[in-house]
Amino acid sequence: MEKDFSLMWKEEEEEDNRNKKSTQGTNYISREMMKKVSFMAAPMVAVSVSQFLLQVISMVMAGHLDELSLSGVAIATSLTNVTGFSVLFGLAGALDTLCGQAFGAEQFAKIGAYTYSSMLCLLFFCFPISLLWVFMDKLLDLFHQDPLISQLACKYSIWLIPALFGYALLQPMTRYFQSQGLVLPLFLSSLGALCFHIPFCWLLVYKLRFGIVGAALSIGFSYWLNVFLLWIFMRNSALQHEMKNSRLQEIISSMKQFIALAIPSAMMICLEWWSFELLLLMSGLLPNSKLETSVISICLTTSGMHYVLVNAIGAAASTYVSNELGAGNPQAARAAANSAIFLGAVDATIASIALYDYRRSWGYIYSSEIEVAQYATQITPILCLSISVNSFIAVISGVVRGMGWQHIGGYTSLGAYYLVGIPLGSMLCFVMKLRGKGLWIGILTASTLQLFVLGLVTFFTNWEKEAMRARDRVFEMTPQVKGNSKTENIPQEDARNLLNDISETV
C-alpha cells in the first residue's frame, strides 16, 4: 500500500513539475519559441523555393523555344496546378495535424501509419486527375482557347503525369520529416533536386530537342529524385524501426482519420488557390484584356512568390503547435502560435514597405512596356495590403492545421472568396468600372475576411481543451492489448532514447 501511494505521489509530483515548468515557461518561452520557429522556417524557405522553382525553370526554358510554346506551357502549368498539384498539396495538409500531434504524444508507430495511408490515398487521387489531364485540350476548347495552344498544353500535361505521381509521394514524405522538425533532409534533397533539374532540363529541351516534352519530363525526374533522396533519409531515420512494424490493418484504419482531415484541408487550400486563378480569367473579359491580364498576372506572380516564403513560417508554426498539443503542453503551443504570428507581422511589414518603396520601378522586372509598369504602379498600394494580409493568413493557417481545425478553414475560404470576394470584385470591376483594381480589391476583401475569422478562432482558442482533443485524436485508433485496457505504447525509457536518436539524426 505504501508502495502504491509512493508511486502515485511520484507521478503526481512529476506532473506538477511538468505543469510548473510549462507555466513558468510562459514568461520566456515566446522568445525561445521564436528562436525555434525561426531556425526551422529559414531552411523551410529554401525547401519551398526549390520545389516552386522546378516548374518555373521548365516554363522559362520552354518559353525560349518560341512564343507558342510559352503560351501552351503557361496555360498547362496554371491548369495542372489548379486541378492536380494544389489538390494533392491540400490533402497532404492533414498530416500537419496527425503526424505532428502523434510525434508530440510519442506515438511514433502512428507516424508511419499516417504517412503510408496518406501515400495510398494521394496515389488514388492521381488516377482521376491524370484522366482529366489526358483530355486537357477538350477542357480548353470549352474556354475557346486557340486550338494550337490547346494541343500543346494537353501534350505538356500528359507528359507531366509522372511528376504528379512523384508529387503524391513527395508531399507525405515532406510532412513526415517536417512533423519531427527534421528540416536538414528536406533542405538537402530539395536543393539536390533543383541542382539536378537545371542542367537536366536544359539537356532535354535544347540538346536532345525534346522541346516542351523535355520540360515536362524533367519535372517528373526531379520530383522522383527528391522522393528517392528522402526515402534514403527515411530508411536511416530513428523512426524507421517503428514504421517497419506498421501493420496493414493499422494503415487502413488510419485512412479514416486522414480522409476526415484531408478533405477540409484541401478545401482550405484549393478554394483560395482557385479564386486567384478565376481572378486571372475574369481579367481576360475586360476591354483591354492584354494589359489587364498582364498586370494581374504580374501581381499574382509577385504575391505567389512572397506566399511561398512566408508559408515556411506557417509550416514551422504548424509543426510546433501540433507537437506541443500532442505532448499535452497547451501553454507552449500557444507560445509557438504567438511567436509565429509575430514573425509573420515582421515579414508583412518588411515585404510591403519594400514593394511600396519600389512601386515605380518593380513592374519593369516583368515587362519593358511603360504602360504595363505604370499600371502596376497604380495597383501597388492594393498589392501591398494584400501581401500584408496574406502573410498573416499563411501563418495562422499553419496554426489552424496544427490544431486540426481544417474544416473551419475550408468553410471560411468558401464563404470569404466565393460569397463575398469574387462577387464584390466582379461588381467593382464591371459595374463600377474599376477594371483590374476592382478585381484585386474584391480578393483583398475576401482575404481580410478570412484573416478576421481565422484570427478570432486562434484568439479565442481554449488551448487546454485543444491539448486534450489532440491526445484523444492520437490515441483514438491505438490498438488495445488483449485482456488489458492499456495501449501498446512505447515504454517511456525507450521513447526518450528514441527522441534522443531523432535529435542526433541528420
Backbone angles phi, psi at 390, to 5 degrees: -65, -25
Residue range 137-182, pLDDT digits in tens: 888 888 777 788 889 889 999 999 999 999 999 999 999 999 988 8
CA atoms of 203 and 197, how far apart (whole Å): 10
Amino acid at 434: L
| pLDDT band at residue 187 using 50, 70 and 90 as cut-offs | very high
CA atoms of 325 and 404, how far apart (whole Å): 10
Mean pLDDT lowest among 296-305, 384-393, 394-403: 296-305
**Residue 423: pLDDT above 60?**
yes
pLDDT at 246: 61
CA atoms of 374 and 468, how far apart (whole Å): 54
pLDDT at 263: 93
pLDDT at 38: 87
Q: Where along the chain do its domains lie?
A: 29-477
Q: Which of 206, 277, 266, 197 is nearest to 229 (CA)?
A: 197
CA atoms of 215 and 333, how far apart (whole Å): 43
In total, the chain counts a number of residues equal to: 506
pLDDT at 63: 77
Q: What is the pTM of this model?
A: 0.84
Beta bridge partners of 480: 487
Listed in sequence order, the DSSP H helices in 236-329 are 240-244, 248-283, 289-326
Residue range 275-300, pLDDT digits in tens: 888 887 788 778 877 788 778 888 88
Q: Are 190 and 226 in contact (CB under 8 A)?
A: yes
Quote the Cα angle for 172-113-190, to 5°: 20
Amino acid at 240: Q
